Structure 1
Amino acid sequence: MLKRYFPILEWLPGYQKQWLSGDLSAGLTVGIMLIPQGMAYAMIAGLPPVFGLYAALVPQIIYALMGTSRQLAVGPVAMDSLLVASGLGALALSGIEEYIAMALFLALFMGGIQLLFGLLKMGFMVNFLSKPVISGFTSAAAIIIGLSQLKHLLGTSIAGSSQIHVLLSNALKTVGDTNLITLGIGIGAIVLIKGLKKLNPKIPGALIAVILGVILVYFLGLSSSGVLIVGDVPDGLPSLTLPVMDTGRIAQLFPIALTLALIAFMEAISVAKAVEEKRGERHVNANQELVALGASNIIGSLFQSYPTTGGFSRTAVNDQAGAHTGLASLISSGVVGLTLLFLTPAFYYLPNAVLASIIMVAVFGLIDVKYPARLWKNRKDEFALLLVTFVLTLGLGIKEGILLGVLLSLLLLVYRISKPHIAILGRIRDTNHFRNLDRFTTDAENPEDFLILRFDGQLFFGNKDYFRTQLQRRMAKKGDALKFIILNAEAVNYIDSTAVFMLRALVADLKKENIRFAVAGAIGPTRDILHTSGLIKDIGKENLFANTNEAYTHLKMLRDRSEIEARIATQTASGVM
Structure 2
Amino acid sequence: MTAPISRLDRLLPFLRWRSQLTRAALQGDIRAGLSVALVAIPQSLAYAQLAGFPAHYGLYAAMLPAVIGALFGSCPQLSTGPVALTGMLTAASIAPLAAMGSDTYLVLAIAIGLLAGVIQLGLGLLRQGWVLNLLSQPVFAAFINAAALLICFSQLPALLGAPGPRSPQLADEAVRIFHGALAPHLPTLAMGIGALLALIGLRRFAPRLPGVLVVVVACTALSALTGFEANGGAVIGDLPALRPSLQLPTVPEWNMIITLLPAAFVLAMVSFLETASSAKLISEKTGEAWNENQELIGQGLAKIAGACASTLPTSASFSRSALNLANGAQTGVASLVCALAVVVAALALGQWLHHLPLAVLAAVILDAVARLFQPATLVHAWRIDRDDGLAAATTFVATLVFAPNIQNGILTGLLLSLALLIWRSMKPRIALLGLHEDGTHRDLERFGLPHPHPHLVVMRFDGPLHFVNANRFQEAVNWARTAQPDVRIVLVSAAGINAIDATGLDAVRREAANLAKHGQQLAFCGLKKQVIDVLERDGVWASIAPHGSYRHERQAIDALAPLASPPENL
TM-score tier by shorter-chain length is over 0.9
Q: Which residue of 2 aligns with 1:255?
A: 262
Does 2:312 correspond to 1:306?
yes
Aligned residues: 555
Shift of the 470–159 alpha-carbon distance from structure 1 to 2, 3 Å rule, reads farther
Distance apart, 1:267 and its partner CA: 1.3
Distance apart, 1:51 and its partner CA: 0.4
Q: Which residue of 1 aligns with 2:276?
A: 269
Residue identity in the other structure for 1:372: L
Does 2:60 correspond to 1:60?
no
For 1:529 and 1:464, locate their aligned partners in 2 and report how far apart those are by CA, in whole Å. Answer: 15
Tell which deviates more after alignment, 212-221 or 72-81: 212-221
Q: Which residue of 2 aligns with 1:232?
A: 238
Residue identity in the other structure for 1:495: I
Q: Which residue of 2 aligns with 1:501?
A: 506
Q: Which residue of 2 aligns with 1:536?
A: 541
Q: Which residue of 1 aligns with 2:477?
A: 471
Q: Which residue of 1 aligns with 2:153?
A: 147
Residue in structure 2 matching 1:428, options 436, 440, 444: 436
Residue in structure 2 matching 1:216, options 197, 211, 222: 222
Distance apart, 1:197 and its partner CA: 0.7
Tell which deviates more after alignment, 395-404 or 51-60: 395-404
Distance apart, 1:463 and its partner CA: 0.3
SS in 1 for 2:519: coil
Q: In the TM superposition, what whole-angstrom CA distance separates every residue of 1:209-259 from its partner, at most 9, and x where no partner exists?
A: 111211221111121221100001123241223322442432232222222
For 1:437 and 1:4, locate their aligned partners in 2 and report how far apart those are by CA, in whole Å. Answer: 54
Shift of the 237–123 alpha-carbon distance from structure 1 to 2, 3 Å rule, reads same
Q: How does 1:415-454 map to 2 (within 5 A)?
A: 415-429=423-437, 431=439, 433-441=440-448, 446-454=452-460
Q: Which residue of 1 aligns with 2:177?
A: 171
Q: Which residue of 2 aligns with 1:407?
A: 415
Q: Which residue of 2 aligns with 1:129?
A: 135
Distance apart, 1:30 and its partner CA: 0.8
Q: How does 1:351-370 map to 2 (within 5 A)?
A: 351-370=357-376
- TM-score normalised according to structure 2 size: 0.92
Shift of the 29–237 alpha-carbon distance from structure 1 to 2, 3 Å rule, reads farther
Residue identity in the other structure for 1:80: T
For 1:53 and 1:474, locate their aligned partners in 2 and report how far apart those are by CA, in whole Å. Answer: 68
For 1:33 and 1:287, locate their aligned partners in 2 and report how far apart those are by CA, in whole Å. Answer: 28
Determine what percentage of the aligned residue pairs are the same residue: 36
Distance apart, 1:499 and its partner CA: 1.9
Residue identity in the other structure for 1:252: T
Does 2:101 correspond to 1:101?
no
SS in 2 for 1:121: coil
Distance apart, 1:409 and its partner CA: 1.2
SS in 2 for 1:422: strand
For 1:94 and 1:343, locate their aligned partners in 2 and report how far apart those are by CA, in whole Å. Answer: 26
Question: Conserved in 1, the CA contact under 8 Å of 2:461 and 2:497?
Answer: yes
Q: Which residue of 1 aligns with 2:3?
A: none
For 1:448 and 1:106, locate their aligned partners in 2 and report how far apart those are by CA, in whole Å. Answer: 67
For 2:488 and 2:203, locate their aligned partners in 1 and report how far apart those are by CA, in whole Å. Answer: 72
Does 2:353 correspond to 1:347?
yes
- TM-score normalised according to structure 1 size: 0.91
Distance apart, 1:303 and its partner CA: 2.0
Distance apart, 1:538 and its partner CA: 3.9
Tell which deviates more after alignment, 117-126 or 325-334: 117-126
Distance apart, 1:200 and its partner CA: 3.3
SS in 1 for 2:492: strand
Does 2:359 correspond to 1:338?
no
Does 2:278 correspond to 1:297?
no
Q: How does 1:477-488 map to 2 (within 5 A)?
A: 478-488=483-493
Question: Conserved in 2, the CA contact under 8 Å of 1:42 and 1:49?
Answer: yes
Q: Which residue of 1 aligns with 2:519?
A: 514
Is there any run of 5+ residues in structure 1 with no aligned partner, and where?
560-577
For 1:152 and 1:382, locate their aligned partners in 2 and report how far apart those are by CA, in whole Å. Answer: 36
For 1:502 and 1:120, locate their aligned partners in 2 and report how far apart those are by CA, in whole Å. Answer: 35
For 2:544 and 2:93, locate their aligned partners in 1 and report how far apart those are by CA, in whole Å. Answer: 58
SS in 2 for 1:549: helix
For 1:538 and 1:479, locate their aligned partners in 2 and report how far apart those are by CA, in whole Å. Answer: 25
Tell which deviates more after alignment, 200-209 or 286-295: 200-209
Q: Which residue of 2 aligns with 1:188?
A: 194
Distance apart, 1:171 and its partner CA: 2.2
Residue identity in the other structure for 1:422: I
Shift of the 160–349 alpha-carbon distance from structure 1 to 2, 3 Å rule, reads closer
For 1:112 and 1:246, locate their aligned partners in 2 and report how far apart those are by CA, in whole Å. Answer: 15
Tell which deviates more after alignment, 212-221 or 6-15: 6-15
Question: Conserved in 1, the CA contact under 8 Å of 2:135 and 2:414?
Answer: yes
Q: Which residue of 2 aligns with 1:566?
A: none
Is there any run of 5+ residues in structure 2 with no aligned partner, and where?
1-6, 565-570
Tell which deviates more after alignment, 116-125 or 246-255: 246-255
Shift of the 507–90 alpha-carbon distance from structure 1 to 2, 3 Å rule, reads same
For 2:480 and 2:524, locate their aligned partners in 1 and report how far apart those are by CA, in whole Å. Answer: 17
